Structure 1
């Protein structure tokens, strides 16, 4: 029997991962078989095992690499906490809008990870969240932010920013630059410390003159 075109030497890790990503995002991890992934790239199913132990390893690799790349792609600038927060917000939006399928899988398929893999992904997620929490804590200490619970604020901001990927579509009413600017404004307002208002000068009391008309 002739070998399916593109099998063995023609398979690459990136092709396999891209196919798995498309199918997991479209149908869900549980509904996708290794045979379907093989058909997506035009090879026999057995050939896939030259590149991955199993489907679970594919899912784990996609999630792990997504989070490791996210962590490596942004470092807080040497600046005040408010400037660091702006940098974080804008980077988070740009990075995630470029990778909607990975974002979807990273959040929706956590339940399908085996315990050891889940522990690794959870640690990477906490590492990322800790960066934002540190910015909020620093800003609160400096009087720039008014945040009663930095952990809660961290989770709320990340949920708000990541949620853009569920509804944003290219060519819609608002372009990326506008979305980015408006979300930054909302994030800023959510944590900003109130600006002290200047005290008004006391109003002088005017007494009535005696024995005459006003």
Structure 2
């Protein structure tokens, strides 16, 4: 099949990903067809297969790109105190995820639609990110700054709490993102603090 007039791989490929990301987040992976994605991009449905083998591969690529970007963007300042490192993590997590609401929604809500092989890859990347926070909590417990009976449970609880900001926060609302970060930092700090 001939390439659609005006279609260029360096332009159309990213447009396919953007359209899929938006549609998956709005309607759910199972409800979106390749025909809908093609319609959003303005190409024939057959042309999509120049950019992705199938819908599953597209979902996996979107999730993996999100996780790779998350891991690459996070820089743990290991020389700092555990409390300073935790503060940086809280701020980073809220800001990074705030800027990518559709990618975050898909990364959490569409895991069930991955094949077992693809799920294993994404789960391993998620564990790498969780391990970074757990390392901070362990360091805080070891130094006596934090009192956390189970660092794995605390890790999952903190990440769930921070990720939840995306479900309710809207720019222009009662609180600025900076206000939200400050309040969430206080909640996280109090939850793990060794101080009575």
Specify the TM-score bucket, using the shorter chain as the normaliser: over 0.9
Counting helix residues as a fraction of each chain, which structure ranks higher?
2
1:185-200 mapped onto 2 (5 Å cutoff): 185-194=186-195
Query: Match of 2:108?
Result: 107
Query: Match of 2:15?
Result: 15
Q: Deviations over 1:39-97 (max 9, x none)?
A: 00111000010111001011000100101110110121120111100011100000000
Query: Match of 1:173?
Result: 174
The answer to whether the 8 Å contact 1:86/1:184 transfers is yes
Q: Deviations over 1:153-192 (max 9, x none)?
A: 0000000000010111111111111001111111111101
SS at match of 2:43: coil
The answer to whether the 8 Å contact 1:140/1:146 transfers is yes
- Which has the larger Rg? 1
Corresponding position: 1:91 with 2:92: yes
Once the 2 structures are TM-superposed, how far is the Cα of residue 6 of structure 1 from its aligned partner?
3.7
Once the 2 structures are TM-superposed, how far is the Cα of residue 8 of structure 1 from its aligned partner?
5.7
The answer to whether the 8 Å contact 1:8/1:47 transfers is no
SS at match of 1:172: coil
Q: Distance in 2 between matches of 1:8 and 1:145?
A: 54
Once the 2 structures are TM-superposed, how far is the Cα of residue 113 of structure 1 from its aligned partner?
0.1
Q: Distance in 1 between matches of 2:113 and 2:194?
A: 41
Corresponding position: 1:34 with 2:34: yes
Query: Match of 1:182?
Result: 183
Corresponding position: 1:163 with 2:169: no
Task: Flag structure 1 segments of 5+ consecutive residues without an equivalent.
Answer: 196-214
The answer to whether the 8 Å contact 1:7/1:42 transfers is no
The answer to whether the 8 Å contact 2:3/2:47 transfers is no
Once the 2 structures are TM-superposed, how far is the Cα of residue 4 of structure 1 from its aligned partner?
4.9
The answer to whether the 8 Å contact 2:12/2:41 transfers is no
Corresponding position: 1:154 with 2:155: yes
Q: Cα RMSD (Å) of the superposition?
A: 1.5
SS at match of 1:12: helix
The answer to whether the 8 Å contact 1:25/1:104 transfers is yes
Query: Match of 2:65?
Result: 65
Query: Match of 1:205?
Result: none
The answer to whether the 8 Å contact 1:5/1:42 transfers is no
Corresponding position: 1:51 with 2:51: yes
Once the 2 structures are TM-superposed, how far is the Cα of residue 9 of structure 1 from its aligned partner?
5.2
Once the 2 structures are TM-superposed, how far is the Cα of residue 132 of structure 1 from its aligned partner?
0.4
When the two structures are superposed, what TM-score results if normalisation uses the length of structure 1?
0.87
